[in-house]
Structure formats: structure tokens, C-alpha cells
Structure 1
Amino acid sequence: MIPSSLTERLRHLRLRLDDPGRRPLPAVTVETGPTVRGWVFRLALLVLTPLLLFTAAGRTPDVPLGVTGTIALLATGLLVVRPTPATAGGVIVVAAVLFWGFTTEPFDPWALVVALLAHLLARTTWWAAHVPPDGHTELAALRTGWRRDATVLGATGLLGALALLASGTTTTTAVLLAALGLVGIALLALATGRPSRDDGPS
């Protein structure tokens, strides 16, 4: 006759095996491709943030260099410590104020260079917010959506080059170059044919 304690143990073992939530987890081996450490994104922010702000302020002679340096130092420290989309947006707004807030000159084609740097800053901040400094992310994940980012950056750079070329030409030629640039951007945007990318919650 089987003792009652042994019977009870066998019953518990059978219930445990029948319940998927109580079964022991199997050993799983995961292989990853080449990765990038999280601190690399913060290092990139150390370069991109002052580059963006100094590029924006450099086109406005009324902004003292010391003021720009102080703003760049504070903004860089804030982004590295707290890399969130809201913080990146605030830095981009500051760059726009430095670029346009102190002058009444006509449109400066260098604004498109500032816009290109701002896009790079926003994308880098998103990754820095989602990958801790001691974490890793695969290069394959970084390449997700690269065609769309390349379209934005390439089209912005192309439009900036056209604007720089048109800055010393007649009005008719400038209008023609601007129209060609806008048509090119529209065609690139329509050629993707995909829904907008969801970068997820911040």
C-alpha cells in the first residue's frame, strides 16, 4: 500500500506537470548578431547637441559665443542625463530660436543643414532613451527604417544644396530649382508606399 504522503506528492507532481504555468521553464539559447552598446548613443549626443546649437547660432552674429557655449553645455548635459523625445524637442526649439530669433534676414539655406542635424539628434535621442548605457542593441534593429531616414536626410540635403545654388541666381532660376526640389521630395515620400513608422512609447 502506498503511503498517503507519497500519494499526495504524486498528485501535486501530476497537477504541476498538467499546469503549463507551473512547469519548469526549458533552457533557451539565444544568439544575437553584432550589437551596439547603449553608451554609444549618449556619446553621439555629446557630439550632435553642441554641433547643432553652434551651427544654428553661427549664422546669427548677434549671439555671443559665451552664451552659445553655456546653452550648449547645459543642453548637452540634460540630453545625456535624460534622453527623452521631449528633451530633444526642447533642444531643437532652442536651436531654432538661435537661428531665427535674432535676425530679420531672408531665408537662410543653412536652415536645412540645421534641420538635418535636428533629425539626427531626435533619432539618436530615441535610441538613447530606449537602450540603457550598459545595454546592447543589434545593428539589425538600428537598420530598421533606414530607407525612410535616408530619404528624409537625403532630400533635406538635396534641397539645401539647391537653395545654396539658387541664392546667387535670378528669381526665375531660384523658383525653378525650389520647385524641382519639392517635386523630388514628394516623389521620394510617395515611393515608400508604407505606413508611418511607430517608434513606440518614450
Structure 2
Amino acid sequence: MNPLTEQLHHLRLRLTHPANRPLPEITTETGPTLRGWVLRLALLVLTPLLLFTAAGRTPDIPDGVTWTIAALSTGLLLARPTPTTAGGTVVVAAVLFWGFTTEPLDPWALAVALLAYLLTRITWWAAHVPLHGRVEISALLVGWRRDLAVLACTGLLGALAMLVSGATVPGAVLIAALAIVGIAFLALATGGATRDDGRS
């Protein structure tokens, strides 16, 4: 085989090799999307709302302490939106709510729990979507039935507890406890589809 034929042969092999072929053009379409910074904006609103709601039920906490805690927690969540920072914020809210009082269970605890649930879910998404990235709204709504059931049941329990907080109803505490356990199981259930909530 002469040099010219050999070069042509090598050229043909190089052009026909799958690794050397040009990649095909692919067009994809996405549904409506949401920017990552919108999720951070939601955290900017939800974090202080959660902490002020929790601290507002404990009159002994100075306003300066509440503002400082809210500012630090919000800044930390915006800088590092991870399940760990979200869990830490929820724990701080619980301490503000229950740590300085010996009163019985306050019905507002369920409102705080509702805000904490929302904060945890949004933090998970903020951790997975870059600031300038996009996420499809349909992806955000995966498992929306479960989330809506948790939020609705929590809000309903809180409203009912506030209505009857001045009355003594035998067995009401047991019923409320069973309802909360039911909500917890509902929140942890995956149903028929797998849902990735990230590493804890």
C-alpha cells in the first residue's frame, strides 16, 4: 500500500470512527422555570417570619436578641442553604418558642411547625439550584399533594387548637397527638413515586 493510499485509509477510518463523528444537534424544550435567586428571596422572607413568629409568643425575649438571631440565621441560610442550616434554624425557632416558658403547649406551635416545614422544603431546593440557574416549576411541584396535605392539616390543627384553647376537653390531647403522628407519617411517606430529599 503506497503512502497516499495509506493516508486516505487512515483518514477514512478516523472520519468513520464514532468518537470522531460530529455530535448531532438536539433541541429540548422545558416548561415554565423559576430562577434560583427567587428561592433565596423566599428564604429571605421565610426565615425572619419563622423566628419572629416563634419569639413573639415568648414576651421575655428582648427585641435586640430576636433581631440579631433572625439576621444571623437568615444570612447563614442565604449563604449556605443546606439541610443542616435549615435544621439549625428550626431548632433555634423551637428554643425561642419553648425555651423560656413553662406554659402548656401553645396552639401557635402548629403555625411555627407549618413555617418550619415550608422553610425546610425551600432550603432543599435552594441547595440544589444555583443562584442564576433555573428549575422547572413542575419539578418544584413534585409531591405537592403530600406537601399540601401536611400544610393543610397542620394549619387546621392549629386553628382548632386556638378555638378550644380555653376549654378542657377529655381526650383532646390524645387526639391531637395522634393527628400530629399521622401528619408525620404522611410527610415521610413516598407514595408510588420516589422523591429525593437530598442527604440529611
TM-score, with structure 1 as normaliser = 0.86
1:142 aligns with 2:153: no
Alignment of 1:102-121 (within 5 A): 102-121=100-119
- 2:10: which partner in 1? 11
Shift of 1:156: 1.0
Q: Deviations over 1:150-190 (max 9, x none)?
A: 11111111211221122122222735863784597489679
- 2:124·2:198 contact (CA, 8 Å) conserved in 1? no
SS of corresponding position for 1:137: strand
Which of 43, 67, 70 in structure 2 is aligned with 1:69? Answer: 67
Identical columns (%) = 68
Hey, what's the Cα distance between the residues in 1 that align with 2:28 and 2:50? Answer: 39
Instruction: Give 1:89's match in structure 2, choosing from 74, 87, 90.
Output: 87
Question: What is the rounded CA distance, in whole Å, between the counterparts of 2:190 and 2:124 in structure 1?
Answer: 22
Which is worse superposed, 159-168 or 39-48?
159-168
1:171 is aligned, of 153, 165, 169, to: 169
Return the alpha-carbon distance in structure 1 between the equivalents of residues 188 and 38 of structure 2: 33
Query: Which secondary structure state, in structure 2, belongs to the residue aligned with residue 115 of structure 1?
Result: helix
SS across alignment from 1:105: coil
Tell whether the 8 Å contact from 2:153 to 2:183 is kept in structure 1 after alignment.
yes
Any idea what the Cα deviations from partners look like across 1:139-159, whole Å, max 9, x if unmatched? 111111111111111111121
Aligned partners of 2:147 and 2:187 also within 8 Å: no
Number of aligned positions between the proteins = 200
User: 2:118 is aligned with what amino acid?
Assistant: L
- State which of 34, 37, 50 in structure 1 corresponds to 2:35: 37
TM-score of the two chains, using structure 2 as the length reference:
0.87
Counterpart of 1:158?
156
Instruction: Name the residue aligned to 1:57.
Output: 55
C-alpha displacement of 1:199: 2.0
Map 1:177-192 to 2 at 5 A. Answer: 178=176, 181=179, 185=183
CA RMSD between the two structures: 2.8
Task: For residue 10 of structure 1, report the CA deviation from its aligned partner.
Answer: 3.4
